[in-house]
Structure 1
C-alpha cells in the first residue's frame, strides 16, 4: 500500500471514529458551533484527499476497473 492510500485510510478511520459521538452530540443539542465547524473541516479535508487519491489513480493506471455498482449510482426502479 502506498503512502497516499495509507493517509486516506487513516483519515477515513479518524473521521468515522468520531461520527457516532458527533451524531449524539447534535441530537442532544450539545455540540457547539465551533465543534461543528471543526468536524466539517475534517470532512472537507477528507473529501479533498479522496478526490486527489482518485485523480492520482486515474492518471497512473492504478484505478480499480471492476467494481460493484453502488446504490447511489443505480437508484431502485419506481413501481
Structure 2
C-alpha cells in the first residue's frame, strides 16, 4: 500500500530520530513502527480477553462485593 502522511512537530522529530538511530529510511521506520504497535495492541487485547475469562467465575463468597470495606478494615478477619 502506498500512502502519504504528514508529520509535524514532535512526531516529525521522533520519526527523524528513529531513522537516524536505526540507520533505516523513513519508509522503513514507519512499517516497523506499525508492526510493533500492532503487536502491542494485540497483546493487550489478548491479555484483557484472558483476564475477562476469569472475572466472575469464582465459587467463593457471594457477599464480598457488599462487605469488602468491612472485611478490609484494620483488624477484620474473614
Normalised by the length of structure 1, the TM-score is: 0.41
Structure label with greater radius of gyration: 2
Normalised by the length of structure 2, the TM-score is: 0.41
Say which structure, 1 or 2, has more relative contact order (CA 8 Å, 6+ apart).
Answer: 1
